[in-house]
Every structure is written in structure tokens, then in C-alpha cells.
Structure 1
Amino acid sequence: MSDYDIVVYGATGFVGALVAQHLARNAPDGVRIALAGRSARKLEACNVALGVDWPVIVADASDEEALERMAASARVVVTTVGPYLRYGRALARACAQAGTDYLDLTGEVLFARQSIDDNDETARRTGARIVHSCGFDSIPSDLGVHVLHDRVTADGAGEMTDTTLVVTALRGGFSGGTIDSVRVQADAMRADRQQRRVAASPYSLSPDRRREPDLGRQEDALSLPAAAVDPSLRGTLAPFMMASYNTRVVRRSNALRDWAYGRRFRYREVMSVGTSRLSPLFAAGVKAAMGGLLVGLSVPPTRFVLDRVLPKPGTGPDEQTRRNGHFAMDIFTTTTTGARYAARFRATGDPGYAATAVLLGESALALILDRDDLPATPGGVLTPATGLGDALVRRLRDAGVEVSARALARPADRYT
């Protein structure tokens, strides 16, 4: 028997502390939780701040033996220690080898691909569920498409084809950790042409690229009229920063499910920038800024400047800002029978901090408390939809998150 049900690794960091706080407030009595990180003193201070007396585990990300002991002591390890391409490989491997379930917040294509190659076969043998991207990236995308598929299937409406997630509301701070992940991936792509090819492929996280359907070009940095996605939408849609990662997670879910969403399933993500006359210009500016950020972090002179003005890792907004944040995402699809459906994923709290703490904390509780409701799998490197599925959907709904889907009966039908 494991010593702990859940180990929160990185509990003294900004997001890790929020996840620990969520568990302190919401985990039922009897769930055995430990806090882990590099400093025993800081971990004890975290205990005091939370008003708990949980065990502490000292483990540095570079100490593989300590990580292996920690993995062996737990049923689930939750890690917020990133960038994962720099700090995550050894822990994911240790959990796969120990048969310990693993959750993280990565939005890094290169790390996720690396983990699939390193750990999928081992985790299938040991039964470990290695589930990446259990925060704002990529639970809303992956579970949103999951519930959309369930509704289409229940109605016997065929398979999904063109499917688009639209970020219709977004308020929150910008994560220093996300910027650091972009920075580390830019370094890796600059140094290795193969890594650039991996990052560019729409199927970079798929189990077997050769079995994927040829659906033509699938662009991530899209700018288009909103009505092109659905007649109920108005205004202009701009590129969404995390589309290049989330889309690959959703495509991996489809492939792991033997293309249950459909062999003609095309998926993209965009965000609304309003209905004013200037919104097309704003959308073009968003696209240019996204490309400029990646290029800027790849070139030493601009990197020097950006490193001094962009948010720093381990920092985040104050409590009021976190509390006042929110987001909403609507996902539209057309099926092979011509039917139209929409799903919605909406939550309160700053997306990258408060909401992410709920998403990750409830993911851990689902693995501990809802084993009988989890998707049937021998283990492996999974996605939120294939590793957690309906068990997490129910938990999030109980936590006040809207996760819903419905048919759109008329062309002018609005999803409100």
C-alpha cells in the first residue's frame, strides 16, 4: 500500500500552492496528502498557511533517486514544476515505472511528445495513467470535445467533421510559467531541426502519424469572420495562443479512441475579438504578436529585452484578480448527417491560476475517489478525455464548472 494518496510536487510555487489550497478545502477526510518540493522549510510554511499538518517530501527535480522514492510512495503525483521540458522528464518516467498515476499542467508539445516516447509502453505495462495538461491547457478543449462527442453519439447524429473552439470570454493574468515554457521550447527548436518539425506537425502527439487521415492543411494561427464558424456568431475571430498545443491533445484523444470522433474530424481553436470595425485589425495584430513573441525569444538581442519585461516564472496575480477572472469556450461542430451541435466549457476564476487549481485538484481527486468511473484503459500516456473522462466531468460540474452540450436545431440558433 502506498504511503500517500496524492503528492503535490511544487507545492511552494505559485500554482502549486493554489492546488494544495484547493485540496485542503475540498478533499474528503481520509485522503492522504503530502506536499513535496526542494525546501523543507518552505513546505512546512505551506502547511501553516493551509492550516494542515501534511507530511512533507524533499525532492529536487535533478535528483532522480529522490523522485523515484517519491513516485513509489504515492498513488497519484501532481506536479506543477515546469517548464516540463527542462524539469519534468525524470518524474514522469519515475511514475510510469512505479505504476503511479501522474498529472501535470504542461502546454509544451516537445515535452509531451518526449513523454509519449519515453513512457507510454512502460505505463501500459505498469497500469500508470500519465495524464498531461490537466489545467486551462487542455481540459476545457479536450473535455469540451468529449462531451460534444457524447451528445452527438447519444443522438445517433453520425460523426463529427469540422469542429471549432471559440474562446468567447477570457479575463485573467498572464502566466510567467507559460512564457517560460515558450522560452524553453524556442531554445529547443532553435538548436534542433527535428524538434521544429515535431512542433509544426498537427499530429505531433498522435500515437501513429501514419494512420492519421489526410485532411489537408490544418492551420493554428487563424483569423476569420465569426460567421464562418457558425451563423449564430458575430464579429471577428483571432488566433488563440494555446491552439497549437490544445489541438494536438484533442487529435491524440481521437486517435487513442480509434478515431471515434470521426475520420473526417478537423479541429481548430480561435478567440473572439469583438464586433467593432477595428476587430479585423486587432485580429491581425494578435497573429503578428504571437509570431513575434516566438521569433523574439529565439533571437538573442530581442530575447535579452523580452526576458526583462515579460512576467517571471513563479509570479502571479493577487487574490482579487484571481477571483474576478473567468473564461468561456464554445465548441461548434457539424456532423456527417448535417446536424449542428455546440458544447460549452465555462468557469470562474483566473484561467491560469484559480480555475487551473480547480481543474488539476479535481483531476487528482477523480483518480483517487472515482476509479470505477474512469475510462477503461490499461494505462499509458493519456489525455484528460481518455484518462479521466466522465469522472472528471461530473466532478467539475459539482465544483460549479459548466460543461454542457446541445443540438443546434436552426441556423440562427444561439448558444447562450
Structure 2
Amino acid sequence: MSASDREHDIVLYGATGFVGKLTAQYLAAHGGNARIALAGRSADRLLAVRDSLGEAAQSWPLVVADASEPSTLNDMAASTRVVVTTVGPYLKYGLPLVGACAAAGTDYADLTGEPLFERKAIDLYHKQALDNGARIVHACGFDSIPSDLTVFALYRRAESDGAGQLGDTNFVVRRFAGGVSGGTVASMAELAREASLDPEARRLLDDPYTLSPDRAAEPELGAQPDARWRRGRDIAPELDGYWVGAFAMAIPNTRVVRRSNALLDYAYGRRFEYAEQMSLGRSILAPVAAAMATAGNVATVELGSRFLNRVPRSALERVLPKPGTGPSDRAREQGHYTVETYTTTSSGARYVARMSQKGDPGYKATSVLLGESGLALALDRDKLSDLHGILTPAAAMGDALLARFPGAGVSLEVSRLN
């Protein structure tokens, strides 16, 4: 069955979870004429979600599917052009669905921030997805679309200006208000546990090019630390007076961006270097805060993996936030983020890409980004790249997302600085 003959345009898998419900709400409001279905383990819970979505969604079909029953995933994947999934931790639950979509030639988008899951998906299913014409797109939420798309937008602008390739490029979180979802915490715990048990997993997490399609082809650019603190002026004159420290999601985000460069045949440049950090302000205490944030990030990675190796999974599950939980409506509405990505090109041109959204980054903003990713894959086929296989947001649908952002309330602007 070809993609155009499928029963659905989008199946939202995990629709009864916290972010799944938010994504369903977004699609009900902005999905237009897309043929959308809701999927999950419980028909009753799916019905309750659909009933809460208003008139636009009352005709949406319900699909019962469970990661523990591969045949249900196969049937679901074969019925639709795109599967959008919020079911994590992905390292624990996600690979069977990736395999089902790769086998069916079905496009796919998820919210993972787990490099080890992405690496396993690449190793197991990239060739099958490529052969069957599937686009498997990881990291379609706050992790890692702001990172991936700001760099892609910088590349497009420098290309248009004839300003050369991207060189030293730095992503800086300037403003952030919001929480961390139970699903994200569970994913990080699963990642740390895997690294603690498997030396090869730890080696992969330490490798800045762990998601590369061809590790031997990557340039050797020296150390590219994921956790460091420094003066803002070391990144750009516009940040003079500010201090920056480690950004908690730098490990997954930086590897996604470097994979994008490789998948796009090093369009960003062979000397492209990329790092992520968070602004800690310009007060007298800012350098201390930056140093503490960086030290805390390192300690979390180093000590957390050792600790988790000694704690039974059942005990952790009792104390960590539960997947499917999240903040109140008011807290989600009050959240927001603004990021800036600075680059200097091979010709010496300097640019900044600024991206911002209203809404809690891990919940409301993420549901918008995931919903728009699903709609782009399903409806904007003429704007998608020609690439297939295990992809990144920029490599699969960079131009389509840039075109969709204004209508989705996502601001992304590129300015030349010299």
C-alpha cells in the first residue's frame, strides 16, 4: 500500500499521556483537513481524550496499540502516512515502533532526547527505512528543534548571502520558564542507567559524533565539551557582561545538530563547531552561578550513572516523577523560552538566529513543535527533503518547518551582525 492510499494521515500514539493529550488538543485546533487518529493501549481512555477535544475531533478513529504486542504496532504503522509518538522512555519502549514504521515505509516523529536510543535505531533500522522510503525523525520537541532549526536557518541565510560556511556556532538559552516533564526525567534516568551498565554506551555518550552516519568521515576539531562556563563575550560581543554555563540538554541536542550537518553532506561546513550553553545573567553572582551549573551538570552525568547502577528500578520508579504527569494549565500558559544561536562564517560574516515560543517548553511548546512536525510530514511533502532513513528535524523537514513556524506562533528570525 502506498503512502497516499493509507487510511490516516497521522496517528498520534500515546494520546492518553500528558504531552500526548496536549498534542491531540493542538492537532484538533490546527490540523485542518488532516485525517487524524488517536492511538494507545486503552480504548476507554482514548475515547475520553477524544470526547474532551471538541467537535473537530469527534470523528477521529481510535486505534488500540501496545508496544508489548508488535502486531498491533505493525497494523497501526501500515494504516497511516505518519506516526507521531509520545511514548517513552524511548530506549525502553520505542524501538519496536521504529521498526514497524521502517518496515511499512511510514514516516515517524517522536520527542526523544536519548542519544543511545537514536544510535540503536540508526544501527537497526536506517537501511530498512531508507529502502522503504520512510522518514524516521527523532527529537521533534523542545529537544531538539530549537537547536536544530536555528542552525539550519543560519545555514540558509548564509547560503543566500553567499557568506560562506558556518564555523564556530553557539546556542545560548537566554530566557526559560517552565518545568521538566515526568517523561523527560524517566528518559534521563533510563539513559544514565544504561550508561552505568554498559561501557560501550558510556563511550557513545562521550563521543560528540555518536549519531554520525559515518564516524570515520567526521572532521577532527579537537575537544567539543558539553559542559563549560565562560564569559558571554567569548561567544559574541553582544553578550558582553553575561556569563554562561552548561545547558542540561546539550548532550542530546549537539549530537542531533552534528548529525544534521553530516546528513546534509556537510552543508554547514567541514569546520563547523557547535556548543550549547545557558545564560546565567550579568550580576556579580553570575560567574558563580555559571560555574555551579556546569559543575552540577557534570556531577549529574558522572555520579548519577554510578548511583543508578546501585538502585533497583522499582525503587526509582517510586520516587521519580511519573511519565504522563505535568504542571497545571496556568503554569503551562505562563512558561516560555527564548534562545539565540550565534555563528561566524568562513568569510567572517556574523549572524544570530533568535527563536522563541510562549508556553512551557517541555509541555505546551513541545506539543506545538511535535504537532507541526507531524503535519509537515503528512501534508507538506513537496517541501520535505529527498532524504529517507533515520533523520533529524532539519535534515528531513527544515524548510517545511521554517514555513510553518509563523502560523504556529513560533518566532525564528536571523539577523546579520556585521
TM-score, normalising length from structure 2? 0.95
SS of the residue 1:260 aligns to: coil
Structural RMSD (CA): 1.5
Q: Which residue of 2 aligns with 1:341?
A: 351
1:277 CA displacement? 1.1
2:338 paired with 1:328: yes
2:109 paired with 1:103: yes
Q: Which residue of 2 aligns with 1:236?
A: 243
1:311 CA displacement? 2.7
Number of aligned residue pairs: 407
1:191 CA displacement? 1.4
SS of the residue 1:343 aligns to: strand
SS of the residue 1:50 aligns to: coil
Q: Which residue of 1 aligns with 2:14?
A: 10
2:358 paired with 1:354: no
Alpha-carbon displacement from aligned partner over 1:67-121 (angstroms, at most 9, x marks no partner) = 1111001110000000000000000010011000000000000000011111111
Distance 1:296 1:269 in 2: 21
SS of the residue 1:347 aligns to: strand
2:169 paired with 1:163: yes
Q: Which residue of 1 aligns with 2:128?
A: 122
Residue number among 307, 325, 333 corresponding to 1:315 in the alignment: 325
Q: Which residue of 2 aligns with 1:37?
A: 40
2:399 paired with 1:407: no
Of the structure 1 ranges 168-177 and 305-314, higher mean CA displacement relative to structure 2 is found in 305-314
Q: Which residue of 2 aligns with 1:46?
A: 49
1:170-185 to 2 correspondence within 5 Å? Answer: 170-185=176-191
Q: Which residue of 2 aligns with 1:143?
A: 149
- Name the % identity: 54
Residue number among 269, 272, 278 corresponding to 2:279 in the alignment: 272
| Contact 1:166–1:331, Cα closer than 8 Å, also in 2 | yes
| Contact 1:104–1:132, Cα closer than 8 Å, also in 2 | yes
Cα distance change, pair 301–387 in 1 and its aligned pair in 2 (3 A): closer
Runs of 4+ with >4 A deviation: 300-310
Cα distance change, pair 191–344 in 1 and its aligned pair in 2 (3 A): same
Q: Which residue of 2 aligns with 1:186?
A: 192
SS of the residue 2:414 aligns to: strand
Of the structure 1 ranges 206-215 and 48-57, higher mean CA displacement relative to structure 2 is found in 48-57
SS of the residue 1:337 aligns to: coil
Q: Which residue of 2 aligns with 1:395?
A: 404
1:386 CA displacement? 0.8
Distance 2:400 2:304 in 1: 41
Alpha-carbon displacement from aligned partner over 1:288-314 (angstroms, at most 9, x marks no partner) = 322333323541598578766543221
Distance 1:208 1:125 in 2: 18
1:348 CA displacement? 0.7
| Contact 1:83–1:177, Cα closer than 8 Å, also in 2 | yes
| Contact 2:149–2:393, Cα closer than 8 Å, also in 1 | yes
2:81 paired with 1:75: yes
Of the structure 1 ranges 363-372 and 107-116, higher mean CA displacement relative to structure 2 is found in 363-372
Structure 1: gaps spanning 5 or more residues = 410-416
| Contact 2:197–2:309, Cα closer than 8 Å, also in 1 | no
Aligned residue type for 2:271: R
Distance 2:163 2:40 in 1: 49
Distance 1:332 1:272 in 2: 13
1:141 CA displacement? 0.5
